[in-house]
Chain A
Amino acid sequence: MNEKLRLLVVDDEPGMRRGSVRALRSFSFPVKEIGLDVSFDLSEAGSGSEFRSRMEKGPFDIVLLDYKLPDCNGLELLDFLQKSRYDLLTIMMTAYASIEVAISATKNGAFDFLAKPFSPEELKLVVRKAGECLVLQRQAKKLAEEKKQIRFQFLSVLSHELKAPLNAIEGYLRLMETKSGGDSISNYEKMISRSLARIDGMQKLIYDLLDLTRIESGQMKRHLSDFNFAESVKKAIETFSPDAAKRNVKITFEGAGDIPFKGDPGEMDIVLNNLVSNAVKYNRPDGKITIRAALSGEFLDISVSDTGIGMAQDELERLFSEFVRFKKDANKGVEGSGLGLSILKRIAELYNGSVSVQSKENEGTTFTVKLKKQEQK
């Protein structure tokens, strides 16, 4: 990518201006950190007043400023730049090079200092330093903005997700308050069970959210130990058997014998519970779930396949974003926080591993998780 920085040379000697412009006209340099090639768009000004009117017309990125101008001195202009809060860097040039001038210029916000006479090479070096600093600063600012934006989006979706169940519960309570369903308590059974279901969903969302923030902030205390992963799988199957039985979904584990692994068993439970609960929820009645787990070297490979509703390509692309839940007939009535897969991905990252997914609409989905054995610290 190319970035053209606008550079203004301010000097009352035409020779100085021309010389600088000539040196910088075909000058460019790469900023490898962000894959950017920087070159310059050059303008000139011969006095303080010309400089001010130039500044009004267009924004500049770098100003090469002579210390002594006929109508004012460079320090005044520096002060003007400071007060106007331009997003630019200033390089002071002067023939009266002295430590004092350099210090006061830097104090007043100059980025760097060039002592006249200087060679084209010296000029390029100083300009390059300023250019690099500027584009890196701007990049950092942009990243911080983006991060803020993502955080804001997350929070606004989250507050919506928390408000929706509250609205539903409040709605039911108001109907009960006004006895809209009549005087008999039995008329309100459905409202009560729906309210409880929404509270359940909300609690699960809050638990998931706590898990996610703990993992992201690195504050989740990890309890690494040697354990048998096959046992974790069996526990997860037990947990979800009642839900699976309700829809006549059969869960099988294809793993032979013990699977010795080192990690945090609690994290393993989160991983397995997420995978198996999804496989149950998004399965069809009388469907099947196959869990496979095996060691290969330092890695543990886990896969969970279902015979459920599956996903289309465009859905797969959005799958791992927070709060993504697809609205479609096939999953109507399926509850979920929309955070499960984000949590899964974060945990896999903790284990230097990965999560991948293969899916075919109306046929089923397979999630594959790869986790690296953890070393005791």
Chain B
Amino acid sequence: MKKKQEFKGKKALVVDDDQDFLEQTSMIMQSLGFETISADSQKKAEELIQSTSFDIAVLDLMLENHDSGFILSYKLKKKNPETPVIMVTAVTAETGLVFDSNSADTRSWIKADTLLNKGIRPEQLEKEIRRLMK
């Protein structure tokens, strides 16, 4: 708990329909100092995006729709183009599709700054957040 609250005063959106993942990601974000607002559906997240401005977002790809995360990312970027978006997904396991977020080609259509696989360690997520928040 002795972590620096390095992102104090910043607001984070966390969206996931898996309550465990939502809980865990929110805790990690809070421990970094973020004020964290969470949603467990695309619908709730869309309302939040309309009403609030965020400094960063961590989005699950598959919610009510297979591409919920992409839609949310698109809407969020339309409103605040500078807000970094981290997409977290188990999509490889669920569909067999393989994304490589590091290829420019994939990034051009994914509309997210980073794509991470579910089951990442807190320190990996923290590293990504620090990189994107620079």
Chain A residues numbered 3-29 whose CB sits less than 8 Å from any CB in chain B: none
Shortest Cβ distance from A157 into chain B, in angstroms? 8
Q: Pick from B1, B63, B64: contact of A182, CB below 8 A.
A: B1
B41 within 8 A of A: yes
Quick check: B121 and A174 within 8 Å, CB to CB? yes
Quick check: A327 and B64 within 8 Å, CB to CB? yes
Quick check: A163 and B93 within 8 Å, CB to CB? yes
> Quick one: CB contact mask for A150-162 with B, threshold 8 Å, 1 for yes?
0000001001100
B53 within 8 A of A: no
Quick check: B1 and A175 within 8 Å, CB to CB? no
> In the assembled complex, which residues on chain A have CB atoms less than 8 Å from the CB atom of B21?
167-168, 171
* Complex CA distance for A369 and B119, rounded to whole angstroms: 40
Quick check: B90 and A164 within 8 Å, CB to CB? yes
Supply 13 A–B pairs (Cβ within 8 Å), ascending by A: A160-B93, A160-B94, A164-B90, A166-B119, A168-B18, A168-B20, A172-B20, A172-B24, A175-B24, A175-B122, A191-B23, A194-B20, A327-B17
Quick check: B96 and A156 within 8 Å, CB to CB? yes
> Quick one: CB contact mask for B1-45 with A, threshold 8 Å, 1 for yes?
101000000000000011111011001100100000000110000
B130 within 8 A of A: no
B118 within 8 A of A: yes
* Complex CA distance for A240 and B3, rounded to whole angstroms: 46
> In the assembled complex, which residues on chain B have CB atoms less than 8 Å from the CB atom of A172?
20, 24
Quick check: B93 and A156 within 8 Å, CB to CB? yes
Name the prevailing secondary structure of the B interface residues: loop
> Quick one: CB contact mask for A134-166 with B, threshold 8 Å, 1 for yes?
000000000000000000000010011001101
Say which size band chain B's interface belongs to.
20 to 34
> Quick one: CB contact mask for B74-111 with A, threshold 8 Å, 1 for yes?
00000000000000001001101000000000000000
* Complex CA distance for A191 and B21, rounded to whole angstroms: 11
On whether A332 and B24 interact (CB within 8 A), knowing A156-B96, A160-B90, the answer reads no
A179 within 8 A of B: yes
> In the assembled complex, which residues on chain A have CB atoms less than 8 Å from the CB atom of B121?
174
Quick check: B28 and A180 within 8 Å, CB to CB? yes
Name the prevailing secondary structure of the A interface residues: helix
Shortest Cβ distance from A265 into chain B, in angstroms? 37
Quick check: A175 and B27 within 8 Å, CB to CB? yes
> In the assembled complex, which residues on chain B have CB atoms less than 8 Å from the CB atom of A156?
93, 96
> In the assembled complex, which residues on chain B have CB atoms less than 8 Å from the CB atom of A327?
17, 63-64
> In the assembled complex, which residues on chain B have CB atoms less than 8 Å from the CB atom of A183?
1
On whether A198 and B28 interact (CB within 8 A), knowing A164-B90, A170-B119, A179-B1, the answer reads no
A329 within 8 A of B: yes
Minimal Cβ-Cβ distance residue in B for A181? B27
> In the assembled complex, which residues on chain A have CB atoms less than 8 Å from the CB atom of B94?
160
> Quick one: CB contact mask for A172-204 with B, threshold 8 Å, 1 for yes?
101100111111000000110010001000000
A333 within 8 A of B: yes
Interface centre among B3, B18, B23, B96 (most CB of A within 10 A): B23
Interface centre among A156, A190, A333 (most CB of B within 10 A): A156
Quick check: A171 and B20 within 8 Å, CB to CB? yes
Quick check: A190 and B118 within 8 Å, CB to CB? no
* Complex CA distance for A178 and B27, rounded to whole angstroms: 11
* Complex CA distance for A164 and B118, rounded to whole angstroms: 9
> In the assembled complex, which residues on chain A have CB atoms less than 8 Å from the CB atom of B119?
163, 166-167, 170-171
> In the assembled complex, which residues on chain B have CB atoms less than 8 Å from the CB atom of A171?
20-21, 24, 119, 122
Shortest Cβ distance from B41 into chain A, in angstroms? 7
